[in-house]
Amino acid sequence: MKREQEPNLPIDPRYKLSGLSWSSLVMLETDPEEWYTTYVLGHKRKPTGAMKFGTKIHKQISDRKLTGKIKEVPHGKNPETALTCKIFYTKTKSFNLLGKPDDYDKQVLYEYKTGTKLWTQKRAENHGQLFTYALLLKKTKHLDIKTALLISLETRTIMVNWKPKIQLTGNTRTLKVEITPQDLLKIQARFINGYKKALKTIKEHEER
């Protein structure tokens, strides 16, 4: 039987493909209207200073060029690899799942987080992004990822010449999260509900 794909989801500019990413799912769950504005109309919010700083640190980590108080963090062998796979919500119908894990190797997934507060174990264990990437790696690279390391890097804002500047404090926390086959099933279920919400939101806007 031929498998079909729903055409309704917008194209994600980062992947040049229609589908849902982890960040789009979170936005759909919390504010479908903001998702519509951002992903369908393409009106992206201006990145905040903290977001820009996070991107800079991620780049330094993937280039293995961390400077300052932290010189090295645990890492894998495949930084910033864009991955896509299909999630089937019926035998024949699917949508694309999109994602770019910070890093991975054959057994471990690595995710880096910058912020003023270090992550807790509980927060890391409930962080669906890790399961999303483990699922993507299973479906695209056939890797059975059972462990994810979430590396939390603490930041603070200092004033330099009367301007706020974000920097790493040097405090880090590496949190180990076990990933089970059930986690991968559940995250797909979550994406399916997100997908339904996306279609509903688009339909509501078209009917207005």
Partner 1 sequence: MNKELQVIEQRVAKCEEAKFKIVVNSQETYDQALNFERKVNALIKDIDAQEKDITKPINDSLKKIRDAFRPAKDKLAQIKKEIGDTRVKYIQAEEAKKKLEAERLEARLERGTIREDTVIKKLAIAEETKTVTNGGMTSVLVIKHVDLAQLPMEYLIIDESKILKAYRAGVIIPGVICEYEKRARA
Binding site for partner 1 (CB under 8 A): 87-91, 122, 181-182, 185-186, 188-190, 192-193, 196
Nearer to partner 1, 69 or 196 (CB): 196
**116/126 with CB nearer partner 1:** 126
Least CB distance from residue 120 to partner 1, whole Å?
9
State the sign of the Cα–Cα–Cα–Cα dihedral 200, 38, 115, 81: positive
Tell me the closest approach of the beta carbon of residue 122 to partner 1, in angstroms. 7
Shortest distance, CB of residue 202 to partner 1, whole angstroms? 19
Q: Which is nearer to partner 1, 154 or 183 (CB)?
A: 183
Could you tell me the smallest distance in angstroms from the CB atom of residue 188 to partner 1? 4
Least Cβ distance, residue 12 to partner 1 (angstroms): 22
Of 82 and 189, nearer to partner 1 (C-beta) is 189
Q: Indicate the residue among 91 and 208 with the shorter CB distance to partner 1.
A: 91
